[in-house]
Amino acid sequence: MTPCPPKTSCLTCRLSDLCLPFGLQIDEVETLEIIIKNKRPLRLNELLFTKDQECLSLFAVKSGSFRRFMINADGLEQTLGFYLPGELIGLDALFDGHFTCSVDALETSSVCELPLTRLNELCTKIPNLQYQLTRILSKEITTNHEQMFLLSNNSAKLKIATFLLMLSKRFGALGYSNTHFNLSMPRQVIASFLGLSNETISRQLTALCKENIISVNQRQVQIHDLTLLEAIIEPYHSH
Amino acid sequence: MTPCPPKTSCLTCRLSDLCLPFGLQIDEVETLEIIIKNKRPLRLNELLFTKDQECLSLFAVKSGSFRRFMINADGLEQTLGFYLPGELIGLDALFDGHFTCSVDALETSSVCELPLTRLNELCTKIPNLQYQLTRILSKEITTNHEQMFLLSNNSAKLKIATFLLMLSKRFGALGYSNTHFNLSMPRQVIASFLGLSNETISRQLTALCKENIISVNQRQVQIHDLTLLEAIIEPYHSH
DNA sequence: CGTTGTTTTGACACTAGTCAATGGGTGTGG
DNA sequence: CCACACCCATTGACTAGTGTCAAAACAACG
């Protein structure tokens, strides 16, 4: 018996500016809030949904982190992306109403559930909400492009550096430290995400430690020199 | 002096079911048609737009093919995706009004230009149009996920096989042959897209030829055994 | 304190990258 | 119409970077 979680309030949620309520009037946020359903928190490795399942709701990450994955040709789980607080899960299912990947929790995590039928109703009534949803969809596409840029680069060192910088940037945007954070995923998951072996992840991380660019203690990462890390991925400052 | 191209008509366009007009009433399509601007066709390697440029329009591919790319750490063009007829270009720019990649033509190609301000106006008036735009955004995300799945696989053979099947599927959906088609891009572009060297592309293609799965003559590809090709990426039929 | 799962490290094999040379197709100009 | 140049694709030889396998160190948990 888990106690009923407290009713969600977007108005007091510190993530609201990253999430669906961004750009909405107070009364519009209040209307949005009404349709949000509470779910009990998910535990480590617990599935939020699986591939091909019918999509009845979108989910916004309230706390913790999630992982998107599919099963690859070897029958192994291939990680395709991560979701941090404030991000929307399930956008790929708006096309035909079915999830195209599976998503599970990387740690104890919670989500706000947004039933699709009610969300669609609301979008027709609140133009700002429709507009923000479109913006979020577009941003997801940009994020995907950046991930592809990362992946089609063939050096392991470059991939790790980019991965760390990606996390740094996202944690920073959430108001956390961008130089000192915890990885919520094991090496194996990072490896399958980057298309590398977990041994290579280990070796590259220790290499970066020896260069005094970062220090790593288990899942705890500290970036000592953000500039040096960025120099790895942009040696000619060709931004 | 190029002659003025004939006025576009979505009603007679055989791509309309793949494109923005899908699901719209005839009168709604006619309204959409009014805002479409004609552009002269683009030649090989001609830029449609560049990264960071302000986005004033979306583009729908009418004929030919396009390439999305960015400049990587080595100062080289890294190909991030391809656009075939019926597909929308520029969706990543809806987030903040700036393109996040550059796009150029892989051959002589033409687009329908959709000015954003007028498209947005229309979306508020035609709910079906807004709905279809959302579906297209969502589909783009799914396509991206599939590309990431491709890229985070670390075998060159798997990447090539998946790449060929991806093209086969997309050409098939366009009503063309899914076993006999022309690549509009040089090996170098395929290589940068897959995160491989162009020599590896060559070698893998000749390997597939020697296995009698495909035959390749310059840019012309013929798939002899689609099942064998699929078996490469799904050895356990674990779909 | 033992069990389990994760991470690190080492040794070795192998895939794919690099460099270089060759071959083929296309287009231009004589 | 042919000769030449250019670009692209292919092939070979070699090397560097990663994957694989195995073992050990370490942390977490009951």
The pLDDT profile of chain B, 239 residues, written as one tens digit per residue, is 445 555 678 999 999 999 999 999 999 999 999 999 988 899 999 999 999 999 999 999 999 999 999 998 888 899 999 999 999 999 999 999 999 999 999 999 999 999 999 999 999 999 999 999 999 999 999 999 999 999 998 799 999 999 999 999 999 999 999 999 999 999 999 999 999 999 999 999 999 999 999 999 989 999 999 999 999 987 654 44
CA-CA distance, B15 to A104, in Å (whole number)? 38
Q: Is the pLDDT of residue A2 over 60?
A: no
Residue whose structure tokens are 């599939």 = B146
Per-residue confidence (pLDDT) for residue A225, from 0 to 100 = 93
Per residue in B187-208, pLDDT (tens digit) is 999 999 999 999 999 999 999 9
Task: Judge whether residue B208 contacts strand D, using its CB and a 7 Å cut-off.
Answer: no
DSSP type of residue A4: P
Q: Is the pLDDT of residue A235 over 90?
A: no
Q: Calculate the angstrom distance between C1' of C9 and CA of A201.
A: 13
CA-CA distance, A167 to A183, in Å (whole number)? 9
Q: A154 falls in which pLDDT band (50, 70, 90)?
A: confident
- Give all domains of chain B, ordered by start, each with its CATH number: 26-150 (2.60.120.10), 154-233 (1.10.10.10)
Per-residue confidence (pLDDT) for residue B73, from 0 to 100 = 80
Nearest to B54 by CA among B99, B114, B88: B99
Per-residue confidence (pLDDT) for residue A238, from 0 to 100 = 44
Interface probe with B: pick from A83, A152, A157, most Cβ of B within 10 Å: A152
Contacts of A93 (CB under 8 A, 6+ apart): A55, A58, A99, A100, B138
Q: Calculate the angstrom distance between C1' of C16 and CA of B223.
A: 25
Q: Compute the half-sphere exposure of residue A127: CA atoms within 13 Å on the CB side of its CA.
A: 8
Say if CB B88 and CB B118 are below 8 A apart: no
Is A149 in Cβ contact with B194 (below 8 Å)?
Answer: no
**C-alpha radius of gyration, chain A, whole number:** 19
Per-residue confidence (pLDDT) for residue B239, from 0 to 100 = 40
- Chain B positions touching A92 (Cβ under 8 A) are 138, 141-142, 145
Q: Is the pLDDT of residue A4 over 60?
A: no
| Average pLDDT of chain A, as a whole number | 92
CA-CA distance, A151 to B205, in Å (whole number)? 22
A213 φ/ψ angles, rounded to the nearest 5 degrees: -85, -40
Give buried/exposed letters for B132-154 (b at 16+ CB in 10 A, else e).
bbbbbbbbbbbbbbbbbbbbbbb
Is A101 in Cβ contact with B71 (below 8 Å)?
Answer: no
Q: Is the pLDDT of residue A166 over 90?
A: yes
Q: Nearest residue (Cα to C1') for D7?
A: B186
Helical axes A226-233 vs A156-173, angle rounded to 10°:
130
**What percent of chain A clears pLDDT 70, i.e. is strictly above it?**
95
CB atoms within 10 A of CB A217: 9
A181 token code pair: 């954070």
Q: Are strands B88-89 and B57-63 parallel, antiparallel or unpaired?
A: antiparallel
User: Which of A89-98, A105-114, A175-184, B145-154 has the least mean pLDDT?
Assistant: B145-154
Per residue in A173-183, pLDDT (tens digit) is 999 999 999 99
CA-CA distance, A176 to B102, in Å (whole number)? 32
Q: Is the pLDDT of residue A114 over 70?
A: yes
Q: A239 falls in which pLDDT band (50, 70, 90)?
A: very low
Taking residues A4-26, report their average pLDDT.
85
Task: Judge whether residue A81 contacts strand D, using its CB and a 7 Å cut-off.
Answer: no
Taking residues A212-226, report their average pLDDT.
93
**Chain D bases closer than 7 angstroms to a protein Cβ:** 8-13, 17-22, 27-28
Task: Judge whether residue A144 contacts strand D, using its CB and a 7 Å cut-off.
Answer: no
Burial label for B207, CB within 10 Å (0-12, 13-18, 19+), is: middle
